[in-house]
Amino acid sequence: MKSLFTIHAGEYLVGSEINRKLRHVNIWLPEKDTGIDLLITNKKNKKTVSLQVKFSRDYLVTHMKGNAFQRGLQACGWWKLNRQKIVKSQAEYWIFVLLGFDNRSKDFVIIKSDDLLKRLDKIHGNSSKFFDLYFWVTKRDKCYEARSLTPTEKLNIADGKFKNRACDFTKYLNNWAPIEVLDD
């Protein structure tokens, strides 16, 4: 028997977090895949924010051997993104969900679709058809895109010594402000 309705883990975690943080919003799930995973409205359904949700398992436990990484990082996710899907995205915001297995953490990178593409172009160049994206969240509440970094730079992230504005996504980490505006 084919399931009539499914929601993936990332959508569930985002919806649960929004429900926990905001009491005066409605969360809508589309009936078919339109590139928008969740639609959030105010209670009167007059204002909306559309979300594309991406979830990754935690690679910190399985792929990040070494005490420095385990000490300094709380979750590491990996996504393969298609440039054209970002360009054509109807979602206002993309939310990347990092569920830290060992650290029992939940983090969300919440970024406008346009900003996401601009930032990835700056880091990886604008000729890429696909982006491999590694978001790393530190125990100091910092977030970096670590895909193209050297081993030394990656260790610097874990040690709290990394400085690279292009790769710094901290301002998007757990920043629910775009959705909080609906909570009236």
Q: What is the 3-state secondary structure (H, E, C) of 80-95?
A: EEEHHHHHCCCCCEEE
Q: Where are the domains of the chain?
A: 9-180
**Per-residue pLDDT tens listing for the chain (184 residues):** 455 567 889 999 999 999 999 999 999 998 888 889 999 999 999 999 999 999 998 888 777 776 778 889 999 999 999 999 999 999 999 999 999 877 688 999 999 999 999 999 999 988 889 999 999 999 999 999 999 899 999 999 999 999 999 999 999 999 999 999 998 7
Is residue 146 helix, strand or coil?
Answer: coil
